[in-house]
Chains A and B, each alone.
Chain A
Amino acid sequence: MALTPNFTVSITPGTPENLLFTDTSSGSDGSVTQRRIYIQKADGDFLVESGTTTDYEVWSGFPGTTTITLEDILDTDYGCRVVVQWLDVSNAVLYDKTLYYGFTGFNEDFDYSLTQLIASNPLLMNDNSFWRNKSLLRALIDSGNNAIERASDIASAQQCYDLASQLREESVYYFNGNE
């Protein structure tokens, strides 16, 4: 029975730097002995964990191990092309699957922190600068996500995420939390 390859990637709120991969393939293939994960950014570079010397991460333990967490692999939000390969013992690729993801954990966490700030101090809602920028932040995250979901366009998504990240990284200028 052939393997139907598939996988998902998720980020847990509060740990935006980590990626959790889950192998959701169905079927089986005794020839498969290893998996590789490629995470390519819009500029062409590959994201790997610290200390990894290849362009990919090894996902061992097929088929028993269905999840792997890549730790500290993100330092900001990225639109990425993610490829998982299923290989045999001689490193021949038997199956592969490509998916496009927007990893927006940093800006989503930041947006939630702004929501918590407003919940603590509802008058911030009337601060035009604060609210306008929070609204812009949401629009930029959503726009980037749309670029990926509708067109698999990680370059456009990255532009949106970078603008959102700018709001987060220079938040002291955009969000006055002491209203």
Chain B
Amino acid sequence: MPTITQIMSDYQIAQYLAVKDIARKRLFGGGIDVSLPEKIYNIGKSIQRVFDNNPTDDTLYKTAYFLYALCGIWGLKAESVTDTEGAIAPVTPTSSLPLPLNFVVSASSTIVTGGSTATIASYQGYNLLFVRNGIAQSQINTGGSYYTWNRNTAEFECFGDAQLGEEFLLIPIG
């Protein structure tokens, strides 16, 4: 037997399942009491108010199980509906990563002309990808341009000082 809580969850499902069956069987509802959905609604609604106020009200045992009996086979079908119902996976939350920094080196840019270091506090704790003039840079010194990034102190340094007009793109990575 279902619990009272389950009955109160299922009766509204039983109501529409009964409507569907009566409509499908057309003439005289195929012998089903055509007022059954209304009866389920009427009885269910009056019980719902008492249940919502106190789910352990001692009058509910009698009234809720009467409602269950009234629902008949549609009550049983309603149980299977609630047993097999699924859930939609939540939408991936919006990224909390700070926005990339993209600028052309100048006397007033984040890294000024001739400069090579910057402290980017908002990137602290993230990894960092550095793209210089459209070319992704390495953190390994192979003789050319490269960079270092300390995600604990948020200190960035590029090797090969910044030249006027260069395009820098700093991308935080989670």
Contacts and interface: CB of A to CB of B under 8 A. Distances in A.
Given A112-B49, A115-B47, A138 B66 contact: no
Contact of B63 (A108, A116, A135): A116
Contact of A122 (B47, B49, B57, B66): B66
A50 interface: no
Given A112-B47, A135-B42, A118 B53 contact: no
B62 A116 contact: yes
Contacts of B63: 112, 115-116, 119
Contact of B46 (A120, A122, A131, A138): A138
A125 B42 contact: no
Interface string A12-27: 1100000000000000
Given A12-B53, A135-B38, A112 B46 contact: yes
A119 B66 CA distance: 6
Nearest to B54: A13
Interface size class of B (residues with CB under 8 A): 10 to 19
Given A13-B49, A13-B53, A116 B42 contact: no
B46 A108 contact: yes
Contacts of A81: none
Contact of B43 (A12, A13, A108, A115): A115
Which of A114, A115, A122, A135 has most chain B Cβ within 10 Å? A115
Interface size class of A (residues with CB under 8 A): 10 to 19
Interface of B is mostly: helix
B50 interface: yes
B39 interface: yes
Interface in B21-63: 38-39, 41-43, 45-47, 49-50, 53-54, 57, 59, 62-63
B47 A120 contact: no
Contacts of A112: 46-47, 49-50, 59, 63
A170 B42 CA distance: 20
A134 B39 CA distance: 10
A111 B66 contact: no
Interface of A: 12-13, 108, 111-112, 114-116, 118-120, 122, 125, 131, 134-135, 138
23 contacts: A12-B53, A13-B49, A13-B50, A13-B54, A108-B46, A112-B46, A112-B49, A112-B50, A112-B63, A114-B46, A115-B47, A115-B63, A116-B62, A116-B63, A118-B43, A118-B66, A119-B63, A119-B65, A120-B62, A125-B39, A134-B42, A135-B42, A138-B45
The 7 residue pairs across chains A and B that have the minimum distance between CB atoms: A119-B66, A115-B46, A111-B46, A112-B46, A119-B63, A138-B42, A119-B62
